[in-house]
Amino acid sequence: MIAVGIICAALVILLLKYVFGGRGPNPFEKDSREPLKKRVYDKKEKNKVLKQGFVPSKVPENLDAVIIGSGIGGLGLAVLLAKVGKKVLVLEQHSRAGGCCHTFTEKGFEFDVGIHYIGELLHHRPFRCMLDQMSNGQLEWEPLENPFDHVLLGPPGNRRQYPIYSGGTRFTEELKKCFPGEEKAIDEFIKLVKKTKQGVWFLVLLKLLALPLAKFLVHTGLVKHLSSFFKMAPRSLTDVVNELTENKDLRAVFSYIFGTYGNIPKDASFAMHSLLISHYLNGAWYPKGGASEIAYHMIPIIEKAGGAVLVRAPVNRILFNDATEACGVSVIKGKEEVHIHAPMVISNAGIFNTYKKLIPKDLQAMPAIQKQLSMLKHGEGGLSIFMGLNGTKEELGLKADNYWIFPENNLDELVETYKKKEREEAAKNIPLLFVASPSAKDPTWEERSPGRSTLTLVTFANYEWFEEWKDDKVTNRGPDYMELKQTFINTILEVVMEVFPKITRDKIEYVDAGTPITNTYYIGAPRGEIYGADHGIGRFDPELNATVRPQTPLKNLYLTGQDVFLCGFAGALAGALTCGSVILNRNLHLDTIALARRTKILNSKMKRD
Ligand SMILES: Cc1cc2nc3c(=O)[nH]c(=O)nc-3n(C[C@H](O)[C@H](O)[C@H](O)COP(=O)(O)OP(=O)(O)OC[C@H]3O[C@@H](n4cnc5c(N)ncnc54)[C@H](O)[C@@H]3O)c2cc1C
Ligand SMILES: *[C@@H]1O[C@H](CO)[C@@H](O)[C@H](O)[C@H]1NC(C)=O
Ligand SMILES: *[C@@H]1O[C@H](CO)[C@@H](O)[C@H](O)[C@H]1NC(C)=O
């Protein structure tokens, strides 16, 4: 007992040294918020920022770093570096910047891809303060309705609807109204969630501590003693929830949000689940003006420091010098390779793309790289449906909220059976449907697109169902592909028109589906993943957590984004913050906490004056 005490005390001292030790420049040093500028909604104007095509002459000289990929993990890191004066080039393979935060327009309807709701955005919270700095105060966030989610369980005719509320004690209070007699289970659940989530700082630590020290914590088992997060990480969601209650609907309601990271409850880690429940406990928000606002307000900060964000710039390989240190990238331009040199290369393209496609075969074979690859799996593929509707949100009965629709309450079995089906059968038996109206969430929409609305739907789909068409031209994959997509669309439309009776067939002006291979094309997801590498229990093995970190086994090559931390907008940004911490040699996670404290003091002073 005493020995453990001494070890712990010694550790705390060491941890403090490492955690506070860094003395690099602080991107949050000065408050960079500016008064709100005039809003720009004109597409052409915005494209001047978001769609700057790659030509060698636009590449700045004397770069400090090159970042592959313009997702929030890439752009976020670029902004952090730009704020301390570094000249950074971000290269994006798609024709516009933003990764999962990009938007596209079809038949005059603007759709976004991977941003439906984001939590933790209360004023004065570190995450919010950080985003304010990262957009120089120009990004605005619109709260969703409360309830922000609705869980629908059961087949047509017997759908039970459970509203999910955010805010203080409201989450539990409202659930208790729906499940009388289950008060104890509900209290116990939220208690476990909060306790587990508290231990998450250890995840940051494992990635920032010197590797030998991190490994020491892992191998002695101290991690699990010290962190409730890692203690709960090996337990599956199904396991925990089944212990709490016999009520099948309540089990499903505790579990529905697995859709935001992609592992069915029996494969999901209770730790990951706790993060997601906590993420939305204080509310859910949507970017005012749509998801493209995110990149639109970040790019100028990168440019101001002399950097650039260039699109249609697919990186085909990372360049290494004779000492196998990363020293630049090669971009395909027409039939040519353009070489760009920089002392540091950071990949936001995901760990699989980076290690399997972008580095030479002999480096790929390195045991350290192979080890990391063997620890991770590809995440679930996704299928999205985009609908353009004639009518305002009032006319169509749409609100700023989300629906999670399941035809049964046994979520594990439901999704497992689906994934084993032949594709035509699967397309007729969709087990999970996320439905949301981005237009209804955006207060600027009515001004930008009067009298019209959008609906986006997401479900999971096997990559293999679509793989045979992967090499066909994206706009012309043939009649069989179209037919399979149509089967999915028809199944989904039936559900939509039943749940939203005001949406009738004559209101639908546009509808199309994006499949896993669509995701490969537009967001570079190698197997159509919507959340990057898999987030099952294996992902939370502390060993893996200490091993997969921003530094790669190759000098001057770093990783950022969702694969280095966790998925989601917040997870990918945490990846950027972690990567930035390593590059700038200071703990930026702590800096955001300090920033939040400063902002609060500053704001209350301003109010008094
Ligand atoms: C349908 C869907 C719905 C979602 N809903 C939500 C939500 O409501 N809330 C939430 O928080 N999160 C949501 N997410 C998840 C979230 O959007 C992502 O986890 C996060 O944005 C990932 O950021 P990233 O920077 O790591 O990666 P990405 O955004 O995927 O960026 C990677 C970028 O790298 C580029 N790239 C890849 N290879 C190359 C190459 N060789 N050369 C150049 N560029 C390359 C890609 O084109 C891409 O732009 C959703 C995701 C999807 C797909
Ligand atoms: C939209 O609906 C209105 C009436 O509800 C109709 O007059 C109009 O023509 C429709 N627009 C389109 C593009 O279908
Ligand atoms: C484990 O490591 C993965 C990969 O780096 C990371 O995304 C995840 O957040 C980590 N989880 C924990 C609990 O450390």
| Per-residue confidence (pLDDT) for residue 599, from 0 to 100 | 85
User: What is the C-alpha to C-alpha distance for residues 565 and 6, in angstroms, rounded to an integer?
Assistant: 31
Asked if pLDDT for residue 607 goes beyond 90, the answer is: no
Site to probe by mutation for ligand 3, drawn from 226, 276, 539, 559 as the one with most ligand atoms within 8 Å of Cβ, is 539
Under 8 Å between Cβ of 282 and 301: no
Task: Tally Cβ neighbours within 10 Å of residue 13.
Answer: 10
User: What is the C-alpha to C-alpha distance for residues 302 and 87, in angstroms, rounded to an integer?
Assistant: 8
Residues 249 and 383 in one domain: yes
Which numbered ligand comes closest to the C-alpha of 121?
Answer: 1
pLDDT band at 211 (very low <50, low <70, confident <90, very high): confident
Domain boundary among 488, 523, 558: 523
| Per-residue confidence (pLDDT) for residue 391, from 0 to 100 | 98
Residues 265 and 406 in one domain: yes
Residues 361 and 421 in one domain: no
**Of ligand 1's atoms, which has the minimum distance to the CA of residue 98?**
49
Under 8 Å between Cβ of 220 and 133: no
More confident residue, 24 or 329: 329
Q: Which pLDDT tens digit goes with each residue over 33-44? A: 999 999 999 999
**Percentage, residues of the chain above pLDDT 90:** 85
Asked if pLDDT for residue 14 goes beyond 90, the answer is: no
What's the whole-number mean pLDDT along residues 109-131? 96
Residues 28 and 95 in one domain: yes
| Per-residue confidence (pLDDT) for residue 197, from 0 to 100 | 93
Asked if pLDDT for residue 114 goes beyond 70, the answer is: yes
Closest CA to 364 of 315, 314, 318: 318
How many structural domains does the chain have?
A: 2
User: What is the C-alpha to C-alpha distance for residues 601 and 605, in angstroms, rounded to an integer?
Assistant: 6
Question: Is there a domain that residue 14 lies in?
Answer: yes
Question: Is there a domain that residue 530 lies in?
Answer: no
Under 8 Å between Cβ of 307 and 59: no
User: Which CATH number do you get for residue 569?
Assistant: 3.50.50.60
Asked if pLDDT for residue 8 goes beyond 90, the answer is: no
| Per-residue confidence (pLDDT) for residue 457, from 0 to 100 | 98
Under 8 Å between Cβ of 319 and 105: no
- Calculate the average pLDDT of the chain: 94
Site to probe by mutation for ligand 3, drawn from 196, 202, 203, 562 as the one with most ligand atoms within 8 Å of Cβ, is 203
What's the whole-number mean pLDDT along residues 127-152? 97
Residues 72 and 221 in one domain: no
Question: Is there a domain that residue 19 lies in?
Answer: yes
pLDDT band at 548 (very low <50, low <70, confident <90, very high): confident
User: What is the C-alpha to C-alpha distance for residues 126 and 138, in angstroms, rounded to an integer?
Assistant: 17
What's the whole-number mean pLDDT along residues 551-568? 96
CA 373 to ligand 3 centroid distance, Å: 14
pTM of the model as a whole: 0.94
What's the whole-number mean pLDDT along residues 13-27? 68
What's the whole-number mean pLDDT along residues 323-330? 98
User: What is the C-alpha to C-alpha distance for residues 204 and 208, in angstroms, rounded to an integer?
Assistant: 6
Residues 273 and 305 in one domain: no
Residues 6+ apart with CB under 8 A from 377: 533, 534, 536, 538
Residues 75 and 130 in one domain: yes
Question: Is there a domain that residue 488 lies in?
Answer: yes
Domain range for 346: 2-105+112-140+290-376+548-608
What's the whole-number mean pLDDT along residues 393-411? 98
Asked if pLDDT for residue 16 goes beyond 60, the answer is: no
Asked if pLDDT for residue 1 goes beyond 60, the answer is: no
State whether the beta carbon of 50 lies less than 6 angstroms from ligand 1.
no
Protein residue whose Cα sits closest to atom 31 of ligand 1: 71
For residue 504, give the DSSP letter: -
Question: Is there a domain that residue 229 lies in?
Answer: yes
State whether the beta carbon of 207 lies less than 6 angstroms from ligand 1.
no
Question: Is there a domain that residue 539 lies in?
Answer: no
Q: Which pLDDT tens digit goes with each residue over 225-278? A: 888 888 899 999 999 999 999 999 999 999 999 999 999 999 999 999 999 999
Residues 453 and 325 in one domain: no
State whether the beta carbon of 218 lies less than 6 angstroms from ligand 3.
no
Which protein residues are within 6 Å of ligand 2, measured from CB?
Answer: 390, 509
| Per-residue confidence (pLDDT) for residue 92, from 0 to 100 | 98
Residues 351 and 405 in one domain: no
| Per-residue confidence (pLDDT) for residue 546, from 0 to 100 | 72
CA diameter of the chain: 74
Asked if pLDDT for residue 300 goes beyond 70, the answer is: yes
What's the whole-number mean pLDDT along residues 141-157? 97
The three-point CA angle 557-559-561 to 5° equals 155
More confident residue, 201 or 104: 104
Asked if pLDDT for residue 170 goes beyond 90, the answer is: yes
What's at 44, amino acid-wise? Answer: K
Residues 504 and 397 in one domain: yes
In this structure, the chain runs to a length of 609
Closest CA to 276 of 294, 291, 255: 255
Residues 404 and 484 in one domain: yes
**Of ligand 1's atoms, which has the minimum distance to the CA of residue 91?**
43
Residues 191 and 257 in one domain: yes
Asked if pLDDT for residue 6 goes beyond 60, the answer is: no
CA 538 to chain centre: 19
Domain boundary among 506, 523, 540: 523
Q: Which pLDDT tens digit goes with each residue over 77-98? A: 999 999 999 999 999 999 999 9
Protein residue whose Cα sits closest to atom 35 of ligand 1: 69
| Per-residue confidence (pLDDT) for residue 602, from 0 to 100 | 76
Q: Which pLDDT tens digit goes with each residue over 176-197? A: 999 999 999 999 999 999 999 9
Question: Is there a domain that residue 538 lies in?
Answer: no
More confident residue, 608 or 511: 511
Domain boundary among 507, 523, 539: 523
Protein residue whose Cα sits closest to atom 7 of ligand 2: 390
Asked if pLDDT for residue 10 goes beyond 60, the answer is: no
pLDDT band at 205 (very low <50, low <70, confident <90, very high): confident
Question: Is there a domain that residue 542 lies in?
Answer: no
**Of ligand 2's atoms, which has the minimum distance to the CA of residue 451?**
1
